Amino acid sequence: MKTPVRTAMLLLIVLAGCGLALGQIPNFRHIVVMVQENRTPDNLFQGLCLPPYGTPSACGTGANQFDIQSYGFDLAGTPIPLSPVPLDNPHDPGHTHASFEAMCNPNKTTHYPCSQNTRLSTTGCPTACSFQYVDPNSTPTIHPYLYLAQHFGWANRMFQTNQGPSTPAHQFLFSGTSAPTAADDAAARFISENPSGLGCLAPLNSVYMVIDPAHAPGEYDLINNPLGTVCFSHDTLPTLLESGKHTWRYYTVGAVKPGVSNNIWTAPNWIQSICQPNSTFTKCTGAEWINNIDLTPADVLTDTENCNLKNMVWVIPKGQNSDHPSGKAAANNGGPAWVANVINGVANSTCTDTVNGVAVPYWQDTAIIVVWDDWGGFYDHVLPPFLSAPSQGQGDYQMGFRVPLMFVSAYTPPTIDSTNQYDFGSILRFAERNFGIKMGTLGFADQRSTTDLRAFFNLKLVPRKFQIPTTVSAQFFLNDTRPAEPPDTD
């Protein structure tokens, strides 16, 4: 068995052989944001507190513990133990904005703040399907997630920015807002639900639900008439990246089975300057769309191997590799292995970047963020912090429930951050700071957030090699010929 001193010496020898020095890179050359679906820490990460992959002593409210709770409350304040289910359990609680209001259980007069007696209507689900957790014993394939949380960066206070489902969540992850314009964002006017249309390609008279301080907690209809009404006109993070000569790519699901839309998870096709729809609003024709949107998610594995990893990358899985509840055992258990293989693709790549005249391998200058787009209607005991009181600004739609976030890099020791509050804007701020852009430049969630993920890495550390354990190889994903499912179904 290697001693810590011997291990450190071996690392230094390897680094010296590569001509590297401590603190050599001034920033990450690549940021990879992997977006998974519909989970909370209490739902997905109970395994951190349970054998065989975790221990009860690892969880609690201490500074160095995972803040995971194994029970919820009904309306009477009675504790309800969370029940174990496999990852591919088919029960899918509602996660619309109305579902958020029901689960938040706010004061009936002020609608603010959430109460401790958090619960959700279970229409279409067995009794208390929100009060379930993923059992590591019935789903051992979840081990890669538990390993990542235990060996890299974990945020105890990461909240989805929006109080609703996937479409607005992906807009906030991509550009910091789900408002059609910057003026709408300033007025706290946001697209709040998964709509019937497809962003810039939405058919005439498609209906979009909007929330603002005058109507909250209710919503009102925005009709796509004339065509292009819901084609957003505001800056995005790629706008800032391109101004600094940085590259980007958005991997997402392309064609799916007839009659099923995938575009609610494809944030760029909602942005007019990126999509540049044709005259009939049926096709994106813009150069940015053509050059930066990849409709085969597994191409991220190929690009990492072929030295074509862009500076900023978003990775949206196809449904078979999503964590959305579906009941498809062969499909939905693919999420943890999918994430593990994208990370291992970076770790194992032979590609390098030139930094200060030295060849630096991808694993030493890439940061990987694994985050879930919304809470999926599952219980979580940490109450969300609102940005303002009702009808007084951004708080009518921000922030939502807690979601998991893990940060992986060669400069990230095992870290549990119980101090800082994060949301999707924190990811944007991290990217801005990393690429030399003034934080908050977009003026959206990146400005409203106050953290930027710097607690999860130290570039002065000796870079460490990493490999995430998984029983599924990258070839499985590269050779997967199953027709693509959408990442989610609602």
Residues 70-107 have pLDDT tens digits of 998 877 778 889 999 988 888 888 888 888 988 888 87
Q: How confident is the model at residue 338 (pLDDT cuts 50, 70, 90)?
A: very high
pLDDT tens column, 458-470? 999 999 999 999 9
How far out from the chain centre does Cα 28 lie?
19
Residue whose token pair is 């279970």: 122
Query: How many CB atoms sit inside 10 A of residue 207's CB?
Result: 14
251 in Cβ contact with 314 (< 8 Å) = yes
Model pLDDT for residues 260-315, shown as the tens digit of each residue: 455 677 899 899 999 999 999 988 999 999 999 999 999 999 999 999 999 999 99
pLDDT band at 332 (very low <50, low <70, confident <90, very high): low
CA distance 302 to 309: 9
- DSSP annotation of 320 reads G
C-alpha distances (whole Å) from 56 to each of 24, 52, 66 are: 39, 11, 10
Average pLDDT of the chain, as a whole number: 88
pLDDT tens digits, one per residue of 409-460: 999 999 999 999 999 999 999 999 999 999 999 999 999 999 999 999 999 9
- Region of residue 115 (left: phi > 0; alpha: psi -120 to 50; beta: else): beta
CB 360 within 8 A of CB 307: no
CA dist 86 → 136, 166, 205, 415 (Å): 8, 22, 40, 27
Q: Could you tell me the pTM of the whole model? A: 0.92
Q: Mean pLDDT over residues 2-29, rounded?
A: 52
Helical pair 424-434 and 166-175, crossing angle rounded to 10 deg: 20
Largest CA distance in the chain: 69
What pLDDT does 110 receive?
Answer: 75
Asked if the model's pLDDT at residue 330 lies above 70, the reply is no
Q: Please say whether the beta carbons of 314 and 173 come within 8 A.
A: yes
Position 370 confidence tier, pLDDT thresholds 50, 70, 90: very high
30-34, 292-296, 482-486: least confident range: 482-486
> Would the pLDDT of 3 be above 70?
no
Which residues face 368 on adjacent strands? 32, 408
Q: What percent of the chain has pLDDT over 90?
A: 64
34-43, 387-396, 443-452, range with the lowest pLDDT: 387-396
Question: What pLDDT does 128 receive?
Answer: 72
CA distance linking residue 359 with residue 144, whole number of Å: 30
pLDDT class for 9, splitting at 50, 70, 90? very low
Q: How many CB atoms lie within 10 A of CB 295?
A: 15
Comparing CA positions, the residue from 392, 378, 340 lying closest to residue 160 is 378
Q: Please tell me which of 34-43, 92-101, 116-125, 131-140 the model is most confident about, judged by mean pLDDT.
A: 34-43
Q: Is the per-residue pLDDT at 256 higher than 80?
A: no
In whole angstroms, give the CA distance from residue 63 to residue 418: 6
Residue 211 CB neighbours (<10 A): 25
